[in-house]
Amino acid sequence: MARIVLGKRPETVSLTAQFEMLDGSKSGIKVEYKYRTRSEYAEFVKEFGERKGGSDASGADDPDAINIASWIEKLDEGRADFIMEIAQGWDLADEFNRENVVRLIDEFPAGADAIINTYRLACLEGRRGN
């Protein structure tokens, strides 16, 4: 059994974000996440929301401007920003960069959700996987 040593923390942690593909098959992306403690994660999420202006992605600021395409685009831009701040690499053949994260969100939304949720669970509950 591994011995716990308080105060010794890793810089990163590698976890596999597992998800179901559209055809029902299972897949996963191994992601190199930035390590954050539970309290650091809470502070990060708070600050991330503040930096993004707390804007309502529904378009409620201007009810006449609401349309599904702009709502999805704004939502996905925020998800891409979030992933870029929690991770620093993945095991895909495509380079880990913002452009490819946006492509992943567009082509495999369940994969992007799994990346975010796997990190959240690891930071808040200390669990691996979904």
pLDDT in tens, 16-75: 999 999 999 999 999 999 999 999 999 999 999 998 875 554 445 555 556 888 889 999
Give the confidence band of 5 by pLDDT, cuts at 50, 70, 90: confident
Residue-wise burial string across 85-105, b where 16 or more C-beta atoms lie within 10 A, e elsewhere = ebbeebeeeeebeeeebbebb
Distance CA 73, CA 84 (A): 16
Mean residue pLDDT of the chain comes to 89
Which residues make Cβ contacts (< 8 Å) with residue 122, sequence separation at least 6?
A: 13, 15, 33, 128
Q: Are 122 and 17 in contact (CB under 8 A)?
A: no
Q: For the sheet with 87-90, list strands across it.
A: 12-20, 26-34, 87-90
Give the confidence band of 2 by pLDDT, cuts at 50, 70, 90: confident
pLDDT for 65: 59
pLDDT for 60: 52
Cα distances (angstroms) measured from residue 68 to each of 37, 38, 64, 106: 36, 34, 12, 14
According to DSSP, the β-strands at 26-34 and 87-90 are: antiparallel
pLDDT for 11: 94
pLDDT for 130: 44
Distance CA 31, CA 71 (A): 27
Whether the model clears a pTM of 0.75, i.e. scores above it, the answer is yes
What pLDDT, in 10s, does the model give residues 86-118? 999 999 999 999 999 999 999 999 999 999 999
